[in-house]
Amino acid sequence: MHLDGARIWNAHVASGVSFSEYGKHFDTISVCLSKGLGAPIGSVMLSDKSRVADARIWRKRYGAGMRQVGIIAAAGHYALDNNINRLSEDHDRAKRLAQALHSVNNSLVDPAKVVTNIVGLDLVGMGMTAAELSARCKDAGLWISALGPHYARLVTHLDFDDAQCDEAIEILQRALVAK
């Protein structure tokens, strides 16, 4: 069994479940050092020595791998040492976004279901498409993802502070009520 742990850091912070508890259920785990932790790039594969050795062979067969990546490894090390504890700030900002948008229209998002840094917006009840909302927000300086005809996704992260969260709320509220 393999765990794609790209957002395992957020899951750990939000749930309190230990990394070892997640890990004991899988043979291999990949973790991302950029999503949430702020490293410029990087993923790490975790397993026993035999599986890691096999994975290195397959990585080379597929043409992956980099040389002289010490500076990138240093950034990943810094992210692991310093940025896991601050992920709860991203979760709090996502909750603020969800609560503010719920007050515009309660069909948009249920704040109780926002437990990490991702806010999904169901726009069916708003009578607009996700592409429309995305375009309105982009015109106001906020980029959001339209992931379906009526589904938009917001993701808070290391480079998104409280002032930007307040500004995003204002932009989203205006974009959602504009005719």
Q: Tell me the pLDDT tens digit for each residue of 90-114.
A: 999 999 999 999 999 999 999 999 9
Where do the structural domains in the chain lie, given as residue ranges? 2-82, 87-177
Measured between alpha carbons, how far is 145 from 37 in angstroms, rounded to an integer? Answer: 20
Q: Percentage of the chain with pLDDT > 90? A: 78
Furthest C-alpha separation in the chain: 60
Asked if residue 123 has pLDDT above 90, the reply is yes
59 pLDDT band, cuts 50/70/90, is: confident
pTM above 0.75, yes or no: yes
Over 90: is that where the pLDDT of 85 sits? Answer: yes
The predicted pLDDT at position 11 comes to 94
What's the CA gap between 109 and 176, in Å, rounded?
13
Is it true that domain 87-177 has CATH number 3.90.1150.10?
A: yes
